[in-house]
A = this chain, B = another copy of it.
């Protein structure tokens, strides 16, 4: 009578209102802290912590620690697919994406974060590299694939030289405004440096804003398409 995987356990995880609210909020793709998710779900932090550890044990979330904050995001896009399907069943349609109002447009768009690119374009860079299979996220590490190495070499970035340095080549970094991953590590720094060399972008010295030229932005979008 029982064939295949046990869907009851996973479905029961999603089936609790508080947990479902958390998952729905995380559909935005952002990573949120325990406190924020507690607020969204309308429960106390203790309760939220319990829920989140259960969701995590069920493989639905991906946790990341940064300082004394703990960020949670959906484990994979497959999770998002299933959630979307459930929404479809629940109401047929009408899923609304919430968007935070842009405060400082330029800072949100592109800025420097420890010498690598952050903000909207930073996450686009990261997502595009992931989507094209140039980066692969394993259990703990972010790895540059062979295809990715060739891709980077085409940009005239000395990958082997970077590999010789003791600093990690690829690292994920979570930034404040987007709450999503972008590429840090020596490769992240090399990317930004290369963008400056190519005159695609330059940094504003007074602020952390990175200004892309018209043609630079075009080239960037061509090389790192959003749905890549």
Selecting from A90-98, A146-154, A159-167, A184-192, the interface stretch reads A90-98
A66 at the interface (CB under 8 A from B): no
Q: Given B2, B89, B208, which contacts A78 in the complex, CB threshold below 8 Å?
A: B89
Report the Cα distance A8→B60, complex, angstroms. 15
Report the Cα distance A125→B5, complex, angstroms. 23
Whether B96 contacts A5 by the Cβ 8 Å rule is yes
Residues of B within 8 A of A103 (CB): 3
A88 at the interface (CB under 8 A from B): yes
Q: Tell me how far the C-beta of A37 lies from the nearest C-beta in chain B, rounded to whole angstroms.
A: 10
Whether B5 contacts A90 by the Cβ 8 Å rule is yes
Q: Given B10, B85, B87, which contacts A93 in the complex, CB threshold below 8 Å?
A: B10
Which residues of A pack against B, CB within 8 Å?
1-17, 19-21, 23-25, 39-42, 58-60, 78-79, 81-83, 85-98, 103, 107, 174, 176, 179, 207-208
Whether A2 contacts B24 by the Cβ 8 Å rule is yes
Report the Cα distance A6→B14, complex, angstroms. 11
Known: A94-B59, A174-B81. A86 touches B1 (CB 8 A): no
Whether B4 contacts A20 by the Cβ 8 Å rule is no
Given contacts A4-B107, A11-B12, A60-B93, 20 further A-B contacts (CB under 8 A): A1-B21, A1-B39, A3-B103, A3-B207, A5-B90, A5-B92, A5-B95, A7-B20, A8-B17, A8-B21, A9-B15, A10-B86, A10-B95, A11-B15, A12-B15, A13-B15, A58-B95, A81-B85, A81-B174, A85-B85
